[in-house]
Structure 1
């Protein structure tokens, strides 16, 4: 690798770690000007091994990450997930009190704009950006909930709950179920303090998802259904927002039951029987809504309900059924979904095709998903495992494209 490419990679990871050139230079035992020259490729023709190793330690990446000629895979990494975790563990965030800086809380409108930016990035499949956006947003929404009064305080609790839901969603993407469960519980607590049934239902559906992924599928289904029954009278008075979160509760309950159906216990058969009933209930709410919306970043509507039906079939190892449902989804409805949802559908389709022994088509579905949202394919442990499985099984005429995809996913050759 030449000095310029090495410098570009150092600059990329320094910015990802939110370091200034001055801080990086000091940690390297040098000056800001030295760091500037290093990033500009002006220090030396070939970077010395000692510089490479020290830079890797300072930036908390592997040496080969700085030396690779491959394009950088922009995944939320362990360091950034740990930063989010450490923020969740701060005393002020756990207790809901004011942090030591005592700064004035930001206006609710400003916080809402920042939350919308972060949630929009998530739905666009830009998960890595959350490592930069979420920790600060979490502290600021917590401070607002602690310092604002009356209606502004209730609105701040609502934003705090939505921020915690976003953390839960990102943690699920990256397979960190401990982080997902903690943030899901905190979201429910904040939502209850918001006194807003819509917020309560939204937080409940995220916690149900976290409980399912953490291995508590039976409890997750019971929790989601209990929340739906408790909140439905209030949600029905809240228009698209209310119907959307109500429908999502039934979709999460269906996925929990589909997961429970795969368990080796006495309740598995009953869980399997419950799945179609819960999906049908969600379909009814989608029909009541009457359109594919995105109220409260749910993407709820008739099309997203079909996406969950595909996912449920995959979870139940009914690949042929999943493929049939996926192929029946109208193109206009699918095109209107956020990129994250479209890519998620395509990865579920790839799972279904693999189960149905149609592995060449499964690779094509994964490539389509990658075009929609790279991080959904290249970064998610679940999808990377499917790529690895397909390499072991073989994909016929798609083997070459599969090997190239595996390289982009950072999988060993």
Structure 2
């Protein structure tokens, strides 16, 4: 972005704010032709007063228009900004289904189109492209809500199912980006919609999103209890089958319960739950992606390492990585899972004072999924720790990544 002419940067931010050239020109008090010439580079922007007015209308810092960044985050465009947060909040605050109860619903989006859009959003998340996803979320939320409100009869359950998935996608990415209150709201909505979709497994996955948000908000005890309650109801055996979907959802509930227990410092419960998930994974046989869980034997070990980090036992996390995670199986996982694990490893190495390897894990994670490292608050904390404890000047690659992250060297 920095190397673009200033007119192209203005066009980029105008497009990101969903302003037409005419609307943008009207707000500036200029003609549409003037805006077009600026964006094409025909007309120069050499007055700071005009630049500041443009920055004000586009709700960005003027340094961004000049190809600089006030926070030294050269890749800031990969992360969410407050305008997008407000757009997502506005979409989450809609109550289309209640409006449809009183008035005829508008023509809803076709379910075939919604299925494709939801699958694309899941893959965008699992490939760690968070900036792309957050920019698409407001429209996806509105479309899914309209579909849920507008379809009835045989199609109502599928529409609710799709909306529940969209809420879960929103919750997952918002939690990663530190927007915990919105993550909880989206997850809570997903649980309610899952009941209308009449899919217990969708409700089980919705439970993990709620509990993740609760842990992020400092509420691990109720998160642990809720995960275990729903896991017990969905457990394979008895009247419940043992198909791959159920095994995956059940196993993920146990793993998320283990993460909540780790936040509480309850080592015994962590071990019990991870081992229970391991048994479910062995029945499944391999890492799969039923209900978008990425659940399987390798992912269980990733959570074993992550729980060790939460317990403050970085050495144990490194041991799990080296002794229990086979590199070929690890490399088959989707980028978000791998980059997330490398971030956990960076935290583990930092806990045992190995800042060189901690930095290396951040670099590896950044190569896999830059947004997982550059946009997550926890990654910024790790990088700050690495820089603070590095003797002398940090290695050039670490310094460069820190620059991209906006973390002071």
Name which of 225, 239, 242 aligns with 2:243. 239
Q: Distance in 2 between matches of 1:323 and 1:185?
A: 35
Residue 236 of structure 1 deviates from its aligned partner by 4.8
Task: Return the match for 2:377 from 377, 381, 384.
Answer: 381
User: Given the alignment of the two structures, is residue 12 of structure 1 paired with residue 7 of structure 2, yes or no?
Assistant: no
Cα separation, 2, equivalents of 1:409 and 1:54: 27
Measure, in 2, the Cα distance between the counterparts of 1:170 and 1:386. Answer: 20
Corresponding residue of 1:313: 308
1:364 and 2:360 matched:
yes
Kept in 1, the 8 Å contact 2:157–2:198? The answer is yes
Give distance in 2, aligned partners of 1:101 and 1:379. 42
Note the C-alpha offset of 1:155.
1.0
CA shift at 1:168, angstroms?
0.7
- Determine the C-alpha separation between the residues in 1 that align with 2:336 and 2:3: 36
8 Å contact 1:76–1:129 — kept in the other structure? Answer: no
Deviation at 1:399, TM superposition (A): 3.8
| Alpha-carbon distance in structure 1 between the residues aligned to 2:25 and 2:335 | 38
C-alpha change, 1:2 and 1:180, in structure 2 (3 Å) is closer
Q: Distance in 1 between matches of 2:268 and 2:5?
A: 56
Greater Cα shift, 179-188 or 50-59: 50-59
Displacement of 1:148: 1.5
Q: Which of 108, 118, 131 is matched with 2:111 structurally?
A: 108
Partner of 1:186: 189
Within 5 Å, give how 1:169-208 maps onto structure 2: 169-208=172-211
Residue 291 of structure 1, CA deviation? 0.8
Give the corresponding residue for 2:42.
42
Contact kept, 8 Å, 1:359 with 1:395, in 2: the verdict is no
Distance 1:337 1:282 in 2: 18
2:234–2:246 contact (8 Å) kept in structure 1? no
Q: Retained in 1: the 8 A contact 2:3–2:67? A: no
Q: Which residue of 2 aligns with 1:292?
A: 287
1:62 is aligned to 2:58: no
1:368-404 per-residue CA deviation (whole Å, 9 max, x = no partner) reads 1100011111111110121112111226674433221
Are the aligned partners of 1:236 and 1:243 in contact in 2 as well (CA < 8 Å)?
no
2:15 & 2:240 partners in 1: Cα distance? Answer: 46
Normalising by structure 1, we get a TM-score of 0.91
Which consecutive aligned stretches of 4+ in structure 1 deviate over 6 angstroms post-superposition? 98-101
Q: Which residue of 2 aligns with 1:325?
A: 320
Given that residues 80 and 134 in structure 2 are in contact (C-alpha distance below 8 angstroms), is that contact kept between their aligned partners in structure 1?
yes
Check if 1:252 corresponds to 2:256: yes
Query: Structure 2: how far apart are the matches of 1:225 and 1:142?
Result: 30
Q: Distance in 2 between matches of 1:197 and 1:238?
A: 14
Q: How many Å apart are 1:9 and its aligned residue? A: 1.8
Q: Give the counterpart of 1:410 among 403, 406, 409.
A: 406
- Any conservation in 2 of the 1:221–1:254 contact (CA below 8 Å)? yes
Asked if 2 retains the 8 angstrom alpha-carbon contact of 1:322 and 1:352, the reply is yes
| Residue 98 (structure 1) shift | 6.8
CA distance in structure 2 between the partners assigned to 1:229 and 1:174 by the alignment = 31
TM score, norm. by length of structure 2: 0.92
Q: Secondary structure at the match of 1:292?
A: coil
Contact 1:349 1:362 in 2 (8 A): yes
- Structure 1 stretches lacking a partner, 5+ long: 262-270
Q: What 5-or-longer segments of structure 2 have no aligned partner?
A: none
Find the aligned partners of 1:37 and 1:100 in 2 and give their Cα distance: 46
TM-superposed CA distance for 1:150, in Å, is 2.8
2:229 aligned to which of 220, 226, 229 = 226
Which of 350-359 and 51-60 deviates more?
51-60
Determine the C-alpha separation between the residues in 1 that align with 2:286 and 2:158.
Answer: 27
Aligned to 1:264: none
3-state SS of the aligned residue for 2:344? helix
Q: Residues 222 and 5 from structure 1, CA distance in 2 versus in 1: closer, same or farther, beyond 3 angstroms?
A: same
Determine the C-alpha separation between the residues in 2 that align with 1:239 and 1:33.
Answer: 62
Determine if contact 1:2/1:47 at 8 Å carries over to the other structure. Answer: no
